[in-house]
Structure 1
Amino acid sequence: MNAIKHIRKNIFKVTQAEFSEIAGVTQASVSRWEKHGVPPSLEEMKAIREAARERRIKWNDRFFFEAPEAVR
């Protein structure tokens, strides 16, 4: 599982459509991030980080770069 998919499924626990709203992108962009390893832009990463903080989700920017071993 790549890092973005891990963030969406295990940290935010939302669908691709819901995550696209969080990141301010289309669902197709989220799909591309997950299927093809295309990373989100810096602005999109900032939006995801801010959404985590707003939801009081324990956040670490390392999530963007590595999924935990147990879920890879």
Structure 2
Amino acid sequence: MNAIRYIRKEIFDATQVEFAALIGVTQASVSRWERDVSPSLDDMRKIRLAAAERGIDWDDGWFFQSLEKSTSEAAE
């Protein structure tokens, strides 16, 4: 699973449209990010801010970690 998709689905529990509205971008931007076009640093800040506003304990590592590895390790 792509890092942004993981953040959107598992951390924010949101659809692409909902996630886009939370951070002030278009749904098309979220879709591009989920197809492995990385968000800008400014967009990453928006995501981090949206998490803080919702009381979500944030970890910047989510932007960069290999989720396939993390998912398989969690299954063990």
> Given the two structures, how large is their TM-score scaled by the length of structure 2?
0.84
Correspondence 1:55-66 to 2 at 5 A = 55-66=54-65
Q: Following the alignment from structure 1 to structure 2, what is the Cα–Cα distance between the partners of residues 53 and 23? A: 12
Q: Deviations over 1:43-69 (max 9, x none)?
A: 110010011011011101011112361
Name structure 1 gaps, 5 residues minimum. none
Kindly, what percent of the aligned residue pairs are identical? 57
2:53 counterpart residue number: 54
Larger Rg: 2
Relative CO higher for 1 or 2, CA cutoff 8 Å, sep ≥ 6?
Answer: 1
Contact 1:23–1:45 (CA under 8 A) maintained in structure 2: no
Correspondence 1:1-72 to 2 at 5 A = 1-35=1-35, 37-66=36-65, 67=67, 69-70=70-71
Name structure 2 gaps, 5 residues minimum. none
Q: Which runs of 4+ in 1 moved over 6 A?
A: none
> Given the two structures, how large is their TM-score scaled by the length of structure 1?
0.89
CA RMSD of aligned residues (A): 1.4
Count of paired positions: 70
> What displacement does 1:21 show?
1.2
